[in-house]
Amino acid sequence: MEDMNFSIELKCLFCDSVLKGDPEAELSSGDMVECQECRELNDYDALIDIASEEGKERVAEVAVSEIEKMLKKAFK
């Protein structure tokens, strides 16, 4: 059986480090995510755009549909 667990890494738009968000923090559309490396603020929507593109390549629709669900919730 293949392990369906995977994670999508959100990468800093400025320095390309993986952003390690607070697991307790709930990010939603419009939020800014501070990079621990360069201290730049990344636009969460842009990060999700990029992550969903990478998700499509890596694990196809599962990741994308999860992201879309998250985004739909965020817009409620």
State the residues that interact with Zn ion by CB under 5 A.
12, 14-15, 35, 37-38
- Token look-up 């409620």 returns 76
> Minimum distance between the CB of residue 35 and Zn ion, rounded to whole angstroms?
3
> Minimum distance between the CB of residue 56 and Zn ion, rounded to whole angstroms?
24
> Minimum distance between the CB of residue 18 and Zn ion, rounded to whole angstroms?
10
Q: Which is nearer to Zn ion, 49 or 61 (by Cβ)?
A: 49
Kind plus residue range of the DSSP H or E element containing 51: helix 44-59
* 35 Cβ neighbours under 8 A, 6+ residues apart: 12, 14, 15, 17, 19, 41, 42
